[in-house]
Amino acid sequence: MLISLPKVRGIYRYNVPMSKMTWLNVGGQADVLFKPRDIEDLVCFIKNTELPINVIGATSNIIVRDSGIRGITVKLGKEFAYIKCKGNNSIIAGGAALLSNLAYFAEKQQISGLEFLVGIPGTVGGGIEMNAGAYGSDIASVVQSIKAVNLEDGNLYEFSSKEMGYVYRGHNLKGQWIFVEAEFKGVSSEHEIILSRLKEVIDKKNKSQPVKGKTAGCMFKNPKDYQAWKLIDESGCRGLNNGGAKISKKHCNFLLNYNNATASDLENLGNKVRDAVKDKFNVELEWEIRVLGGGFYSRIS
């Protein structure tokens, strides 16, 4: 693919096999993977390209289709993985920082309220995009302010949590964004109390989820007044398979690559589950996993 790319201080990689990067180990090649050096580098890049842009994080909740990703795939690297104290129980974290690392950092600073993040795979940027949550808490409840670069005009903006318009597993911010930094706030507590809560979250996750399998977290969002896993289970889909893809028997809202599945195996199995739930309960399940490639555009994952 012959394309003209802006001069950057970051790194371009070409024809990158996404199957080696994603947690599900599937997907074709990304034409170009771009890792910016810093926010200014990212802004300069966006302002000087008209190519389609997709954004990935830790790739813990995406399926990349077998056809791969056209155009540019932006991934924030280690330069955006910083976590630091701001004072008054506040923490600043870059968009590439892992949510689990943020939870452990908060513990060391004796800041409570972020323990639930230890059980969520993925990055700060991805968590902000989807309002990631677990065990009764979510990003919206702990994030104070957010810095984001707009994919249309390339400018840097700052939003409060209220301005994001957070909803269940999403937000109402208009446009396409790359979330590059956020400020989180907790409350003072003691190490022993926070450590106990971290252990509780980890234990719950290990007991209820297929943590040792190749998975991408919850497959579908919970519809209003329903639990997705229960709808899936009562539709007879627990343990259902398609090619090398399988619905987990331990937690049936988890999709597994258990035997060299293709992206098509996984996506088609998920759609079979959606159809089964629709037929039995007349409820439409909405994907929580993001699907990239084949002309499909996704903001962040």
How buried is residue 24: exposed, middle or buried, by Cβ count under 10 Å (0-12/13-18/19+)? Answer: buried
Measure the CA–CA gap between 254 and 121, rounded to whole angstroms. Answer: 14
Mean pLDDT for the chain overall: 94
Specify whether 129 is catalytic: no
Among 218, 237, 274, 290, which one carries the catalytic annotation? 218
Q: Where in the chain is the domain with CATH 3.30.465.10?
A: 1-213+289-301
Choose among 239, 178, 269, 252: nearest CA to 209: 252
Identify whether 218 is a catalytic site residue: yes
Specify the pLDDT at position 4. Answer: 81
Distance CA 170, CA 132 (A): 8
pLDDT of residue 301: 27
Catalytic member of 237, 252, 288, 290: 288
As annotated, the residues of the chain forming the CATH 3.90.78.10 domain(s) are 222-285
pLDDT reported for residue 297: 38
pLDDT, tens digit (0-9, with 9 covering 90-100), for 231-270: 999 999 999 999 999 999 999 999 999 999 999 999 999 9
Task: Select which of 37, 163, 169, 200 is catalytic.
Answer: 169
Listed in sequence order, the DSSP H helices in the chain are: 39-47, 99-108, 124-130, 161-164, 191-208, 228-234, 263-281
d(CA 44, CA 280): 51
Report the topology of domain 222-285: 3.90.78
| % of the chain with per-residue pLDDT over 70 | 97
Place of tokens 């398609």: 242
Q: Is the domain covering 1-213+289-301 a CATH 3.40.50.150 domain?
A: no
Note if 288 is an active site residue. Answer: yes
Mean pLDDT by 10 residues, the chain (301 residues): 82 96 96 97 96 94 96 97 95 98 98 96 96 94 98 96 96 96 97 97 95 94 96 98 97 97 98 98 97 58 27
